[in-house]
Amino acid sequence: MTADNTPASNETTVLEVDGLCVEFSMRGKQVPVLSDVSFNIDHGRTVAIVGESGCGKSMTALAVMRLIPSPPGRISSGKILFKGENLIEVSERRIREVRGRDISMIFQEPMTSLNPVYTIGDQIAETIKRHQAGSAASVRQQVLDLLRLVQIPAPERRISEYPHQLSGGMRQRVMIAIALACEPALLIADEPTTALDVTVQAQIFDLLKDIQAKRGTSLILITHDFGVVAELADRVVVMYAGRKIEEGTVEQVINDPRHPYTRGLLRCMPEIKLDPVLAAEPLAEIPGTVPDLLRQSKGCSFAPRCPSVTAKCIEMPPMVQLGEQRSARCWLAHEPAATAE
Ligand SMILES: Nc1ncnc2c1ncn2[C@@H]1O[C@H](COP(=O)(O)OP(=O)(O)OP(=O)(O)O)[C@@H](O)[C@H]1O
Ligand SMILES: [Mg+2]
């Protein structure tokens, strides 16, 4: 959502993730999977979480929903404040109320999340009935309204169809309808279009923008695609090896990235119009692979792949504050791209 679409007076923080740490027990060891992850999201805004596979994007989303498989995982410290209430401390009963009603999530693969033996109408109705009382007729009406909201054609017919009768794009629309059934304040979309072709992806993103404008829903959008970030998000959190390594507005991060990893990700995206200094660099994948979390060193986890690595990087760089909600975890964070690389 752009600044023009949301009134400035409505800038209330919906979710505040503060110092979130998640550990998994692996081969008898406690392995940190998320370390000190912090970010906020305001009413009606979109925060994108980006990074390569395995960097902790889904884990962050699951932690917010308190859905980390436990054991072997556990939230070891931090706060997740939803409208001021720390979701880490609430009862199992309370978190079940919050899930689906206040915060809901759209997963990557709609076919695995829909039950093949129930009609899509029944599956949407079930979510509504779990959180509110109402007559069968009023629930049916709400289901039809939701099918219209997610732009499924002929909703009166589709309501009694089964998941296998719908295309992949239509199934993802049904998943969005389920996620929106109780008008959540916060929607988490974890790579919602990876399984869909490019045209359908664009339609789903248009739909999400449209719903957000109508309902003022806050959105956490998980993606590895900076093109999607540029199109949809207000702010970006870049993650690497379970840590936030850069944060800022979309403009700040795309036009003036301060972490070499962010610069590497951006260079892999030919459609993003980069600053000429960055664009002059060859288009390339970031060399190397994401580190094995079991074998993390004390220093910067990106150092083995970093083109700007120095002797200092054997120590973990601090999170350098570059402005309000603008930061990068790099010893060279104060230096713009032209001098840093
Ligand atoms: N059940 C599990 N047990 C142990 N480690 C796990 C488990 N699930 C995930 N992990 C580890 O947690 C880390 C973060 O995983 P996560 O699923 O959050 O990555 P991601 O950024 O969402 O990646 P992708 O883009 O592939 O979805 C990874 O290193 C992964 O190996
Ligand atoms: Mg994931």
Q: Is 288 helix (H, G, I), strand (E, B) or coil?
A: coil
pLDDT band at residue 283 under the 50/70/90 scheme:
very low
For the Cβ of 124 lying below 6 angstroms from any atom of ligand 1, the answer is no
Question: Which of 34-43, 218-227, 285-294 is most confident?
Answer: 34-43
Which residues is 36 bridged to in the sheet?
none
- Contact predicate 39/247, CB 8 Å: yes
Asked if residue 54 has its Cβ within 6 Å of ligand 1, the reply is yes
One-character DSSP codes across 228-252: HHHHH-SEEEEEETTEEEEEEEHHH
Which residues, 6 or more positions from 188, have their beta carbon under 8 angstroms from its beta carbon? 61, 64, 65, 103, 104, 105, 106, 219, 220, 222
Sign of the CA dihedral running 226, 232, 238, 242:
negative
Give the pair of three-digit tokens for residue 131. 């959180």
CB half-sphere exposure, 160, CA atoms < 13 A: 2
Beta carbons of 301 and 329 less than 8 angstroms apart: no
Q: For residue 27, report the distance from its CA to the centre of ligand 1, in Å.
A: 16
Q: What is the DSSP letter of 256?
A: S
Ligand 1 and 293: CB distance under 6 A: yes
What digits encode the pLDDT tens for the residues 118-177?
999 999 999 899 888 889 999 999 999 999 988 899 999 999 999 999 998 899 899 999
Residues 6+ apart with CB under 8 A from 65: 99, 103, 105, 188
Question: Which residue minimizes the CA distance to atom 25 of ligand 1?
Answer: 53
Ligand 2 centroid to residue 178 C-alpha, Å: 20
Q: Is the Cβ atom of 39 under 6 angstroms away from ligand 1?
A: no
Beta-bridged to residue 56, according to DSSP, are none
pLDDT at 276: 57
Instruction: Report whether pLDDT(228) > 70.
Output: yes
- Sheet holding 85-86: strands in order across? 29-42, 13-26, 73-82, 85-86
What percent of the chain has pLDDT above 70? 88
CB 253 within 8 A of CB 262: yes
Cα of 47 vs centre of ligand 2, distance in Å, is 16
pLDDT, mean of residues 227-231: 89
Of 67-81, 159-173, 273-287, which range is least confident? Answer: 273-287
- Rounded Cα distance between 204 and 173, Å, is 7
Q: What angle do CA 284, 286, 287 make, to 5 degrees?
A: 105
* pLDDT higher than threshold 90 for residue 113: no
Does 55 sit in the ligand 1 pocket, CB within 6 Å?
yes
